[in-house]
Chains A and B, each alone.
Chain A
Amino acid sequence: MCGIAGVCHSDDAKGDPRLLRKMISLVRHRGPDDSGVYSDHGIGLAHARLSIIDLSTGQQPMHNEDRSLWITFNGEIFNYVELRQELLQSGHRFATQSDTEVILHLYEEEGEDCVRMMNGQWGFALWDSRQRKLFLSRDRLGVRPLFYASVGNDLVFGSEIKSILAHPGVPRELDLVGLDQVFTFWCTVPPRTIFRGIHELPPGHSLTFKDGELTLHRYWQLDFDASAGNGTSEQEHAERLQDLLLDATRIRLRSDVPVGAYLSGGLDSTIITALINRVSTTSLRTFSIGFSAKELDESTFQREAIAFLNTAHSQISCDYPDIARTFPEVIWHTEKPVIRAAPVPMFLLSKLVWDAGFKVVLTGEGADEVFGGYDIYKEAKIRRFWAEQPESKHRSRLLRRLYPYQSKLQQQSDVYLQSFFRARPEDLESPFFSHLPRWDLTSRLKVFFSEDVRTALGDYDCQLELASCLPPTFSRWDGFSQAQYLETTFLLPGYILSSQGDRVGMAHSVEARHPFLDYRIVELGARMPPHLKMKVLNEKYILKRAFGHLLPPAVLNRPKQPYRAPDGKSFFARTTPEYVHELLSPETVKADGVFDFASVNRLVDKFKTGRAIGVKDDMALVGILSTQILLRQFIEEFELGGLSCGKLTMSCAAS
C-alpha cells in the first residue's frame, strides 16, 4: 500500500521534481518505507512506498522493459500470481516479483481493459509515453482513493487531496454543494468533493488524459438480478459462498510481511478470522477497540471469539477524551467533514496495529452492504411492510424490533414510534425510500448553515442530483436491492471505506484488505434473492447459514450491534479542549461564514449544560466542528502542512 501523486502536462513541459517531491511528502504516512519520483517531457509521477510485496525490487515509479510505460501504483492486485503466470506464458518477461509490474504487462496486453481482469484494490496512474496518454484507474468498490484536478491544461492527481492542494495552481475553496451533500448523505457524490475544482475518481472508473482532454470511463457497474439465483437452492448458494469467500480470504493473505486481522466481536470479522485460521498455518494476531462507554463496548464478544479461534489479541481502549484529543488529526486525514466521530477509534486502532509491527490487516468490512446486515435495510423492510397495511397493529408492533440498542428510541410510546417511522404515501414511490429517514434527519442539520451559504445553494437539491446518477435498471430492482445499491455505491466508498477506512488506516501506514469486497463476492450477493440475505428480520441469514459452524455460538446468536463511537459528548465530557472553544466561538464561526454563529452558540450551550441528548445534536456538533477544523487546516493554514492539526491537538493536551 502506498501513496501516489503526479502532474500530467498537455504540452511538452517536464514534470517538476521539486513540486512532485512536495506533493508526495504530504502523503508520507501512506508509504514511509521509500519514495521515488519520475519526470519526463509531459509527465511527472511520484510515489511513497509501504513495502508489502517484493520488498527488494518493488520500487516505484516502475517502468516496463523498454521504458515506454511508467506506473505509480497504490494498492494490491490480489490475483497477480495467476495473472503473472498467464502473462509469462504469453511471452512477457518480468524484472521483479511485484504485483505492480503485472499491471504494466497486462496493460501492454489488454490496454485500458486490463483493469477488468484485476481483482484487488487500487488507485494508479500509468503513463503511456508512446501514446502520450495518462491512464488513471480506481478499484471497483472504491477501497483505495484517487483524486484529480484540472489546472490550466494540465492534470494534477493524487491519492489524497492534500497532494493536489500543494500544487500552486489549485485554489483552496470549499465546495458548498459538496457541503450540502455531506450534510445529507454523510459523503459527497463523486466526482464532487468538498473542495471546489478537486474531483474524486468514482469507484469502478478509469480516466484517460491525452492532449489536454480528459475522459471518464466506467468499467464496472454493480447490477442486481435477484432472479438470477432462482434455480439455485439455499444449500447451493451457501456452498458457493463458502468456496468464494475462502478464496477471497486466501488471496488476501498474499504478502511478504505478516498479516493480522481486525476482530470486533461481530459476525463478519469473526467469519474472516475463522477463514484465515483455515487457510493459514501461522498463529494469527488480531486487534480490536474497546469502549469505556458500556453501551458501545463489544469486549465480551471479542473475548468469546478470541478464545474460540485461539488468536493472539491486542485491544485498545477508547474513552471520551481520546476522541476529543485526536479529532483534529483525524480530520487532516479524512479530508472531508464527518457527521459521526466513529473514524477516530479506527484511527487509534491502526496505530495499535502499526506499533505491534503489522502493516496489513484483514477486516469484515463489506458484509453488511453485500449481505443485508444494516439496520437501514430492516427499517425499510418493516416500514414498507407496514405501509401496505397501515391499520395493522401487528405490523406496527414490529417497529419495536428496530434499534434495540438505542435506549432513548425504545423509551418512546407506540404512537410516537409509529409517527417517526410512518412512510408518507409519496415516499413509497421514491427510489430513495430506504434512505429517506436517514437523509431527512441529517438534512435538518442544514438549519445551521449561514444565510450566505443558503443563498449560494439556492434551490439546489442533492437528491435530484443523486437520482441522475442511478443506473437505468435501478427502477426494476426490488426495494431491498435498491437500498443495497445506495449503501454500496455511495456510503461505502464515501464514508465507510474512506473516512472510517483507508484514510484512518493509512494515517498509520496500515493497509486493510476486505474479503467481502472481492468483486466476485459482491456480484454473487447481487444475484442472490433478498430473502436469503434477510430472512424475515434475520439479517445476513446466508452468512450465518454458510459459516455458522465456524463461529462461537455467542457470536453467531448475538443481536446485531453496529459499530458506533462516542460523539458530541466527547468534546464536553470532562474538559473541553481549547480548540473546540476556539473553532466554535461566535467570533470564529462568524468570520468563517459557513455556519450561523448564533445557532452554533445555542448548540454548544446545549452540550455545556448537558441538555444535548439527541442524535441530531450529536451529528450537528461533529459535523460543524469537523467542517471548522477542515477550514482551518486546508484553507486558512494549509501551508503549515498539517501542522495546524498538531497545534489544535496540542491545545487539547494543554487544556
Chain B
Amino acid sequence: MRQIDHELRRFVVDNFLYGRDNGFSDDDSMLGMGIIDSTGTLELVSFLEKKYDIVVEDSDLLPQNLDSVARLTQFTRRKLEQKQATGECSARREPVHSE
C-alpha cells in the first residue's frame, strides 16, 4: 500500500511551503492556514492527476475533497479505488468483447 498521506503531505510542504514544514496537522484547513492560494488548487489537481493517474472532475473541486492533507488522502484513495474498480470491470469485460 502506498503511503499516500506521506506523499501528499510532502508535496504540500515542498510545493506550497517550499520545504518549511510549519507543523500544521493533517486535519488543518489549508485555506484557513494560508497554505494554499487561488492557484494552489490548480497545482494540487495537476499533481494528483500526474502522480496517481486519476482524473479530477470539475465537480470534485471542493474544499471537502482538497482542503486538508487528510481530506486529500481520502479523496485520492477513493479515486484510486474507483479507478481500480473501473479497470477491473473493463478487464473482466474485455474477453466478452473479444468473443
A residues neighboring B (CB under 8 Å): 408-409, 411-413, 415-416, 419-420, 440-441, 444, 447-448, 596, 598-600, 602-603, 606, 611, 613-616
Contacts and interface: CB of A to CB of B under 8 A. Distances in A.
Interface in B15-49: 15, 17-20, 22, 31, 34, 37-43
B87 interface: no
B43 A599 contact: no
A413 B38 contact: no
B57 to A, nearest CB: 10
B18 A413 contact: no
B94 interface: no
Contacts of A415: 61-63
Contacts of B14: 602
Contacts of A420: 31, 37-38
B38 to A, nearest CB: 5
Contact of A596 (B20, B34, B67): B20
Contact of A441 (B19, B37, B61, B67): B37
B37 A615 contact: yes
B58 interface: yes
Contact of A416 (B18, B22, B43, B61): B61
A447 B61 contact: no
Given A411-B42, A415-B61, A613-B42, A444 B20 contact: no
Contact of B31 (A409, A419, A606, A613): A419
A449 to B, nearest CB: 10
Given A416-B61, A419-B31, A615 B39 contact: yes
In the A-B complex, the 5 residue pairs with the smallest Cβ-Cβ separation, listed nearest first, are A614-B39, A599-B18, A413-B61, A602-B18, A408-B39
B34 A440 contact: yes
Secondary structure of the B contact surface, majority rule? loop
A413 B62 contact: yes
Contacts of B67: 419
Contacts of B40: 614, 616
Given A415-B62, A416-B61, A419-B63, A615 B18 contact: no
Secondary structure of the A contact surface, majority rule? helix
Contacts of A409: 38-39
Contact of B58 (A413, A440, A596): A413
A226 to B, nearest CB: 32
A416 B37 contact: no
30 contacts: A408-B38, A408-B39, A411-B42, A416-B41, A420-B31, A420-B38, A440-B34, A441-B37, A444-B37, A447-B20, A447-B22, A448-B18, A596-B18, A596-B20, A598-B19, A599-B18, A600-B18, A602-B14, A602-B15, A602-B19, A603-B18, A611-B43, A613-B39, A613-B42, A613-B43, A614-B38, A614-B39, A614-B43, A615-B37, A616-B40
Question: B39, B58, B63 — which one has the most chain A CB atoms within 10 A of its CB?
Answer: B39
Contact of A444 (B34, B41, B42, B61): B34
B51 to A, nearest CB: 12
Contacts of A602: 14-15, 18-19
A614 B37 contact: yes
B39 A611 contact: no
Nearest to A600: B18
A211 B25 CA distance: 59
Contacts of B41: 412, 416
Question: B22, B42, B58 — which one has the most chain A CB atoms within 10 A of its CB?
Answer: B42
A602 B63 CA distance: 26
Nearest to A451: B20
A412 B61 contact: yes
Given A413-B58, A413-B61, A441-B37, 20 more contacts: A408-B42, A412-B42, A415-B61, A416-B63, A419-B63, A420-B31, A420-B37, A444-B37, A447-B17, A596-B18, A596-B20, A599-B18, A599-B19, A600-B18, A602-B19, A611-B43, A614-B39, A614-B42, A615-B38, A616-B40
Contacts of A611: 15, 43
A606 B40 CA distance: 13
Nearest to A410: B38
Contacts of B20: 447, 596, 599
Nearest to A411: B42
Interface string B46-83: 00000000000010011100010000000000000000
A342 B24 CA distance: 34
Contacts of A419: 31, 63, 67
A606 B16 CA distance: 10
A408 to B, nearest CB: 5
A614 B14 CA distance: 15
B15 A606 contact: yes
Nearest to A599: B18
Contacts of A447: 17-18, 20, 22
A611 B18 CA distance: 13
B29 to A, nearest CB: 9
A92 B46 CA distance: 74
A406 to B, nearest CB: 8
A586 to B, nearest CB: 12
A412 B43 CA distance: 12
A606 B43 CA distance: 11
Contacts of B62: 413, 415-416
A598 B34 CA distance: 21
B55 to A, nearest CB: 16
A377 B38 CA distance: 19
B11 to A, nearest CB: 11
Nearest to A613: B39
Contacts of B15: 602, 606, 611
A440 B19 CA distance: 20
Nearest to B16: A616
A606 B18 CA distance: 10
Contacts of A596: 18, 20
Contacts of B17: 447
B42 to A, nearest CB: 6
Contacts of B42: 408, 411-412, 613-614
Nearest to B60: A413
Contacts of B22: 447
A582 to B, nearest CB: 20
B79 to A, nearest CB: 17
B13 to A, nearest CB: 10
Contacts of A408: 38-39, 42
Nearest to B45: A411
Nearest to B22: A447
Contacts of A616: 37, 39-40
Contacts of A598: 18-19
A628 B57 CA distance: 41
B33 to A, nearest CB: 10
Nearest to A403: B38
